[in-house]
A and B are shown apart, each in its own frame.
Chain A
Amino acid sequence: MPDAMKKTHDVQVLKHLSERLQALRPSPREATARWTTGWKDFDDWLPGGGFRPGGTIEWLSSGNGAGSLTLALATASRATRGRGGLVIFDHAGDLYPPGVFHLGLSDRPILFVRPSNAAEELWAWEQVLRSPKVGLAIGTIDRISDKSLRRLNLAAEQGETLGVWIRPDWARGSPCWSDARLWVEPKGEGSLLRHWSVTLDRAKNARERDPIEVAWDEETGSLSVVSSLVHSAARFSGSVARRRSVSSSGA
């Protein structure tokens, strides 16, 4: 290929890549508007400082009883309070309303959608996310194509609805189309407070974050960040080193 042609080709490739990058970048509104949970430490840890209106978040769960739904519902419902109704998807038919309302959600309109098959479920998700009067749509999504996920993202953006999906842990290796993918692992502490380690697996336009440990008080319905796992480990090892140095100097 002659040099001139190669140069033109390279410019076109660069232009194309630049356009694709532009498309992936958030708009100025997206970059600034955030719905916060009110739990400052947790908000600070989230990419962008909260949930983006019209954004989607994936929470990965490690099986029954892991607590991902509790954490996702508690944080997202708090962030979207006063911003429209709450729609909960329950395709498996095992969601238990007394447990849902125990999280303190009875002050807003709540709709339970229980589709009978995958096609109807996808259609219903789109309708709900596109509705301007729905603040939060949350539910479990197992197997779904990338194309469908992209459609749901666009629907959420159109309706400015926050979409939250609970996904199984095997989805960890699949491409992420959401604003963020959070991996939740329960930690056995043997106390009334529930402890989880939360890892930011992937996030759009956000730098990497250290995993955090959060504690959920079911009685008061409050969430606190116990520690940043990596930082706390670093701080701990640092203090040990200093202690060692002090003892050695005294010797």
Chain B
Amino acid sequence: MADSSLAARRWGIRPGMPLAEAESLIPRSCPLRLVADDPAADRESLIRLGGWCQRFTPWVALEASDRPESLFLEVTGSAHLWKTEQRLVESILKELQSYRLLCRAALAESIGGAWGIAHWGDLTPYPSYSASYVDARSKEPLRASSCSAYRIAAMGKMKDEVLSLPVDSLRLAPATLALLAELGIEQVGSLESIPRASLASRLGEEALVRLDQALGRAEEILTPIGSSTRIERRMIFEYPLSQQAFLLDRVDELLAQAVHELPPGHGFSQLRVELVPEEGFAASVFELGSCRPTTSSFHWRELLRLSLDRRRLDRPTEEIRLVIASSVPFEWREQTLFPDAALRSAEGEQHWEELIDRLSSRLGESRVARARWVADAQPERSFAWMPAIDASRRKRASANFWPQAWRPLRLWNEPIRIDVRSVVPGGRPVWLRHPQGQDSVLQSWGPERIETGWWRTGAIARDYFRVELATGHRLWIFQDRSSHQWFLHGAFD
């Protein structure tokens, strides 16, 4: 059972229950209507409902989930049309009720906060007299889940409300929720009180992101409904094409056709080109990306040319398929009092992004990257590469924060086993044999003890030393605390 009606729940039928068990709970005299679970149809219905909701605000987005069940409405600029936020929310609920749709609504300063309060907050029934409704069969008052309800988090008070909610309100993965239950962490407030570094290492980065999103500390990107337009174009040739120039010309033609179908003021930042050879052979697929939305056929042609330089076609092409998965509005840049400076800056940004596009097309997106700090004590896991093209699209800074600790410029993923001698067992290194030779140690700084939690697979416990050899070379070595073996891990190059 994916879900059940209110009437079915009165018979004890709950989501997640096997169908046979549900059927056994219903008396034969009572008609049970079964409807096949269709997530795609549910999603389509929700999108249609979102389109209908655009009468309240033009900015309506679908929840980013495999099985979305919520709509987000950005009402910052439209609430005043209803004079108060309460009137706006009540209007939404009233209109939905006229379609026999029950709704739980919350208005808050962050998307995550509104989601959490709507699902797990203490809501006020709507209309207010519905609180006095009594179930005809059980003679008990109807719960908030049986009628529409809402809550408006007062400005500046949302954080307190979110902190008092259960951790289920954070949209975490079931595995994370299960781990939190094992650890006895039930409320968001308890989670917030744990140091961030240990939170990330124990629960993963997702928990931090969700917590920050709920408390309004991290931005959340949602695509408004109606802004995406999938466009597909194809061209079949009577005779297969093998020359790159001809192929690029045909892609130009298809692009020109596709661009006409885009909504006004829209471009696209991802393009999929499939070059299909004769029947029986796999198509060569090129996923092209651009930092900013554009319709410039010259730009896309150049990116495809660079990709073709990297991966040559084995067979002549019989068909070209071109897919624009979604369109994005062009960015408008504010003019300043100093147009020359603004132009220089805008042009500069464009040059920089074009360079990223070109490098990513030829080398591969993962090979043109920005670095991001990861809250993990283990040195080799303390950063992550992020494709520069993605970072530019999200306008996310690559390195706003990096801990100020002495770290080498080079680090080997696999530490290299070395021989180290000390004056006393377990003492400081005084001599070592490394891949370049053997040297006495002039000076050492340390130990810096780095340990990861016991709960993690492959936990480490290491004592790191910065050592200066007699030659002046500086290396980063460590002693494994369990095996007492020494390793070379990095070089202060």
Contact = CB atoms under 8 A, between A and B. Distances in A.
Contact of B469 (A65, A73, A99): A65
A127 B358 contact: yes
B492 A113 contact: no
Contacts of B369: 111-112, 114
A185 B471 CA distance: 9
Contact of B493 (A66, A114, A132, A189): A66
Nearest to A105: B399
B402 A101 contact: yes
Contact of A63 (B403, B409, B412, B473): B473
A110 B370 contact: yes
B432 to A, nearest CB: 12
Interface string B394-411: 000011111111111111
A132 B352 CA distance: 8
B61 interface: no
Contacts of B371: 97, 100-101, 110, 112
Contacts of A100: 371, 409
A194 B473 CA distance: 10
B408 A96 contact: yes
B472 interface: yes
Contacts of B359: 111, 113, 124, 127-128
B383 interface: yes
Nearest to B368: A113
A97 B473 contact: no
Nearest to B355: A131
A109 interface: yes
Contacts of A188: 442-443, 468-472
Contact of B367 (A97, A116, A194, A195): A116
A218 B383 CA distance: 21
B348 interface: yes
How extensive is the interface on chain A, given as a class? 35 or more
A114 B403 CA distance: 24
B406 A67 contact: no
A123 B362 contact: yes
A234 to B, nearest CB: 24
Given A63-B436, A185-B472, A113 B363 contact: yes
Contacts of B471: 186, 188
A130 B109 CA distance: 46
B56 interface: no
A49 interface: no
A96 B403 CA distance: 13
A100 B409 CA distance: 6
Nearest to B403: A98
Contacts of A174: none
Contacts of A85: 352
Interface string B350-382: 011001101100111001111101000001001
Given A99-B409, A124-B359, A127-B355, A113 B367 contact: yes
Nearest to B402: A101
Interface string A113-153: 11110001001100110011110000000000000000000
Given A70-B493, A98-B407, A110-B370, 13 more contacts: A97-B383, A99-B409, A99-B492, A102-B405, A106-B401, A110-B399, A112-B368, A124-B359, A133-B348, A186-B472, A187-B472, A190-B468, A194-B492
24 contacts: A64-B410, A65-B469, A65-B492, A66-B493, A67-B493, A94-B410, A96-B383, A96-B408, A96-B411, A97-B383, A98-B403, A99-B410, A110-B398, A113-B359, A114-B367, A127-B359, A131-B351, A131-B352, A133-B352, A133-B355, A185-B472, A188-B443, A189-B472, A192-B445
